[in-house]
Amino acid sequence: MTLHLKSDVKLLAQDDGALVEPFGNRVSIKLSGAQTGGAYALLHVSLRPKQPLPPLHRHDFDEVLYVLDGALTVRMADGTARAEVGTTVFVPRGAAHTIGTPDDSPARFIAMVAPAGFEHFFTDLAALVAASDEVDPAAAAALTQRYGVEILEAPTH
């Protein structure tokens, strides 16, 4: 239930926000660019256990992750780190990186992207894989390009 107060302040309950579920992961768009004047978007993300690392990539927006539950593997151009509960990960625009879940447990985190726009990637990705868990490589390449993501290596799975 979203409460709209007189001052335009919004309180979003846990289940508020547009929900998409690509590949068994859950992405709830808490605040979209339409609500922030395009400045940023805020997402609540739940990754399934042992979520494989996507290919190393970079993009033209800043990304901040805050780990709520579980752990994330964060791979960068120069190494890999484990982000435990309470860890903040800052990925500046242009930095090579990828994230996944290393354990048999899911991971939950808050993600902020600035400027906004990338939040719609997840909606488009969910639509792309709705018919099957297989993704046409050409369609995936077009999707990542549309959202300013540059893939830096070939997929491993």
Mean pLDDT for all residues in the chain: 89
What kind and span of H or E run contains 138? helix 137-146
Find the mean pLDDT for residues 73-79. 93
Instruction: Report the predicted TM-score, pTM, of the whole model to 2 decimal places.
Output: 0.88
Q: How many CA atoms lie within 13 A of 64 on its CB side?
A: 10
d(CA 3, CA 27): 21
What domains are defined for the chain?
Answer: 27-131+139-144 (2.60.120.10)
- Is the per-residue pLDDT at 4 higher than 80? no
pLDDT in tens, 125-138: 888 887 666 778 88
pLDDT in tens, 37-57: 999 999 999 999 988 888 899
In this prediction, what percent of the chain has a pLDDT beyond 70? 91
In eight-state DSSP terms, residue 39 is: S
Q: Give the C-alpha distances (Å, rounded to integers) separating 16 from 25, 29, 30, 38, 89.
A: 17, 8, 7, 20, 24
- Residue among 110, 96, 109 nearest 152 (CA): 96
2 pLDDT band, cuts 50/70/90, is low
How, if at all, do strands 107-114 and 41-47 pair? antiparallel
